[in-house]
Structure 1
């Protein structure tokens, strides 16, 4: 099974502009957008993390991923792939710094984007 985590924009989540991360979850359920690559695989979303906010340190996302990995390890699970949410890809002025830090330190595959909605 391929275990997937999503990195989402703190501001969009806090402002309820995407309640419950609905677009990412529906896209995953239908295997649309960047989730289409899992059409013929057994895959599950094991976590959704926040980026740390516009005023946050770019390494906050790296720390969030490390914490998620630690918690999943306690449950006998792991993260194979991290998707950078469409909210970050479309709207974040700091996305290049965040993505660069994640790719440098994550130790897993990083995919830019989730859905096309």
Structure 2
């Protein structure tokens, strides 16, 4: 079985998060981790961005890469927060350009309660959000399971 090493970066406003939904979705290969359904996944780093504007992105990813990371996931919390991370696309482009790593938007499936509110707020109506949401926008039953 092929093995992949990944890192996860969460939003600093959730810095006390123990990662339960992220690690559950890694274990079950759900949400953005469904891409690894036939692979052994090793999480080699889990940290926050260190708050706006993301001062930890440079240093954390350098350490993750030194630990063998081949991909970095920008956690679902960066997408569903109120407001969503204004720097998420920059983080994506910076990590890809500076470190040559694959960068994936999201971790666990978007919880239904967040989809409901963001739909009412029309947060994600801009076309750029389609790519960002795609890995974590699963069916309603799974979204509800992550509420």
User: TM class by shorter-chain length?
Assistant: 0.7 to 0.9
CA distance in 1, matches of 2:45, 2:64: 7
Deviation at 1:33, TM superposition (A): 0.2
Residue of 23, 26, 31 corresponding to 2:24? 26
Report the 3-state secondary structure (helix = DSSP H, G, I; strand = E; otherwise coil) of the residue aligned with 1:79: coil
Distance 1:31 1:51, change over 3 A: same
**3-state DSSP class of the match of 1:42?**
strand
Does the CA contact (< 8 Å) of 2:8 and 2:73 recur in 1? Answer: yes
Q: How does 1:29-108 map to 2 (within 5 A)?
A: 29-57=27-55, 60-70=56-66, 72=67, 78-90=68-80, 91-108=84-101
Larger Rg: 2
RMSD over aligned Cα atoms: 1.6
Q: 1:92, 1:26 → 2: CA distance?
A: 23
Q: TM-score, normalised by structure 1?
A: 0.79
Where in structure 1 do 4 or more consecutive aligned residues deviate above 4 Å? Answer: none
SS across alignment from 1:104: helix
| Residue-pair matches, total | 105
Structure 1 Cα separation of the partners of residues 72 and 33 of structure 2: 11
Task: Quote how far apart the aligned CAs of 1:56 are.
Answer: 4.3
| Inter-CA distance 82–54: structure 2 relative to 1 (3 Å threshold) | same
Unmatched 5+ residue regions in structure 1?
73-77
Native 8 Å contact 1:49 1:65 kept in 2: no
How far apart are 1:106 and its partner, in Å? 2.0
